[in-house]
Structure 1
Amino acid sequence: MKTDDKHPSQPGAAPRAEAPAGARLFIHEPGWRITIKRGSEREFCHMMAPGKDYYHRLLDGEIVLQHDTERLCMACAARRGVISHEMRRLPDEPPKLLVESDAETILVLRLDEPK
């Protein structure tokens, strides 16, 4: 497995928009937890950076998102859509249910009801 000299979040990596000062981060998928990579053990991000054909290393002290055995650096988690600087918004209006009031009632039999 080949390693990269530049981490996707370091200068020289793919350009990306910077977060505004005081920005908050939101996780949009359930089951993810935040960890900090500690030590010199070789661990790799589970997603390849754009334009690369190999997985990059997670660095000591780096904030990482983890779901079971899958680990993502923050840059890759943002590209994948797991995290963002915007919270999910509720719909502006509730869904519209089209039900006719003069429609016939449909009887649904349950399995435990005698026929």
Structure 2
Amino acid sequence: MTPQEPTPEPAQDIRLYVLEPENWQARVKLDWEKEYCYQKNPGEDFFHRLVAGEVYFQREDERYCLNCALRRGIVTYDRLNWQHGTKKSRTNFPI
């Protein structure tokens, strides 16, 4: 008898939702030109760089990496965010 292979768990549905889609654009950094996230990480006293290939969110001259966008409530994992009214959903996301 051969042991049965374990049944794979269904893939986790990982999607992001922009809370104000008319104001923000999701972008991919394509070059190595120095550009910085608009927000500092907790406990740090400097702005961190965005690197080539990184997904970030932009509104006018503001640029936020994914972690900071989640912390600021620009994006969320909550697909039903539209049912929660205008209140921004802040997500605790590991840094």
Whether the TM-score (by the shorter chain) exceeds 0.5 is: yes
Gaps of 5+ in 2: 1-10, 85-95
| One-letter identity of the residue aligned with 1:23 | I
Q: Output one character per residue of 1:13-71: Cα deviation in whole Å (capped at 9) or x when no partner.
A: xxxxxxx8222111112400011111110000000001001100001100010000100
1:63 and 2:55 are equivalent in the alignment: yes
The whole-number CA distance in structure 2 between the counterparts of 1:39 and 1:73 is 15
**Counterparts of 1:53 and 1:47 in 2: how far apart (Å)?**
10
SS of residue paired to 2:13 = coil
Counterparts of 1:59 and 1:33, CA distance in 2:
17
Query: Unaligned 5+ residue runs, structure 1?
Result: 1-19, 92-115
Distance 1:25 1:39 in 2: 24
Q: Match of 1:90, SS?
A: helix
Runs of 4 or more, structure 1, over 6 Å off, are none
Q: TM-score, normalization: structure 1?
A: 0.58
Counterparts of 2:55 and 2:24 in 1: how far apart (Å)? 13
**One-letter identity of the residue aligned with 2:76:** S
Question: Where does residue 72 of structure 1 map in the other structure?
Answer: 64
Q: Aligned pairs, how many?
A: 72
Q: Which of the two has higher C-alpha Rg?
A: 1
C-alpha displacement of 1:89 = 4.3
Q: Secondary structure, in 3 states, of the residue corresponding to 1:47?
A: strand
2:47 maps to 1:47: no
> 2: CA distance between counterparts of 1:49 and 1:90?
30
> Which structure has more strand as a fraction of its residues?
2
Greater fraction of residues in helix = 2
Cα root mean square deviation, aligned: 1.5
Residue type of the alignment partner of 1:90: Q
TM-score between the two structures when normalised by the length of structure 2: 0.70
Given candidates 12, 17, 28, the residue that maps to 1:26 is 17
